[in-house]
Amino acid sequence: MKKTLLLFFLLFFLKISAQISDTLVLKNNDVIVGEIKTMNKGILQIETDYSKEDFKLEWKYVRNISSERVYIINLSNGTLLNGKITKIKIPNKCEITNIDTQNKSIIDLSDIVRIKPVDDSFWARLDASFDAGIKLTKAQSLQQLTVNVNLGYTAKKWYGAATYKQLQSIQDESDPIRRIDTDLSYIHLLPRDYFIPLSVVTLKNTEQDIDLRVVSKAGYGKYLIHSNKKYWGIASGLSFNNERFTGTSEANKSLELFLGSDLNLYDIGDFSIQSKVNVFPSLTESKRVRTDFSIDTKYNLPLDFFIKLSFVYNYDNKPKEGASKDDYVFQTTFGWKLN
């Protein structure tokens, strides 16, 4: 009986030990052994047996890394690899074995911008966040609610995102204000940091008398900068605008070009800043140009909470007759992120 119990515990220990095969050596010589969950935007997440929550540490403080598992690895030059990472004696470098070609390469750790396990679970691939803001005043019975929901999913060679944003304001002696933005997007990653963006964006906006605008986009883009501190991607293509204004019975349809830019800065302490701009010169409506701009500044708090400052601006040089050419929203919200 004792031998059976001893054998059971020995097998259990070996199983647990076998599961923990990833090793990090930091620049202060600390060693962390566990299971690497992901590395993206300069932050590495690793699970260990001796912590209730996953460790999160800055990638720039890692000196050596080794693992027997297979990862999707993105390099700053746009190269996409399926491979294993092996520790070598040279600090701040590693050896990556491409499992498709069995070629081995010595890579500087600073050139690795993303690491994702090939066999990770659905929940490990999912990102989600929720933030909200409420404003109530006795004067004129002002009631204002802001809600933002974000979902993201990262696969081997693509990622998708869905966002929902709503602003609603009610005040005595004033018409209600309502604005709803949604965005469903898909980006397919190509070699050398090129990508194909597809998206469907909707907008409901009382300020510009937009009952519903649906914009479908497809294009081609490239990341001009892609590092552990920031990325900057640009894209262009075609969009189809199907919009219905308040008080009109027929929808207005137009074909447009789009030129887009997405800049994300995430190596500035607990802050991160993301700015997006899209310009839509119409191909079917003479001299009509629309512009959508947004900037989000987020400050990370403990336990995955955050505070966010956001600014959104929409411009249309040929709006519905009697409606405003532009609309903007500035808001402060408090939220939580699922990692």
Q: Assign residue 48 a region (left: φ > 0; alpha: ψ between -120 and 50; beta: otherwise).
A: beta
pLDDT for 35-50, tens place per residue?
Answer: 888 888 888 988 887 7
CATH class of segment(s) 124-338: mainly beta
In this prediction, residue 232 carries a pLDDT of: 95
108, pLDDT greater than 70: yes
SS3 319: coil
pLDDT for 148-201, tens place per residue?
Answer: 999 998 877 888 999 999 999 888 777 788 899 999 999 998 888 899 999 999
Least confident range of 2-11, 193-202, 256-265: 2-11
Percent of the chain with pLDDT over 70: 91
Give the CA diameter of the chain: 88
In this prediction, residue 222 carries a pLDDT of: 95
Q: Cα–Cα distance between 124 and 264 in angstroms, integer?
A: 22
- What does pLDDT average to over the chain? 87
The count of C-alpha atoms lying within 13 angstroms of the C-alpha of 194, restricted to the half-sphere facing its C-beta, is 7
In this prediction, residue 215 carries a pLDDT of: 97
Cβ contacts of residue 117 below 8 Å, gap of 6+? Answer: 36, 37, 38, 69, 70, 71, 72, 124
SS3 54: coil
pLDDT for 277-336, tens place per residue?
Answer: 999 999 999 999 999 999 999 998 988 899 999 999 999 999 988 889 999 999 999 999
Tell me the mean pLDDT in the region 18-30.
Answer: 80
The segment(s) of the chain belonging to CATH 2.40.160.40 are 124-338
Phi and psi angles of residue 101, each rounded to the nearest 5 degrees, phi first:
-115, -10
SS3 9: helix
In this prediction, residue 13 carries a pLDDT of: 44
Least confident range of 5-19, 98-112, 165-179: 5-19
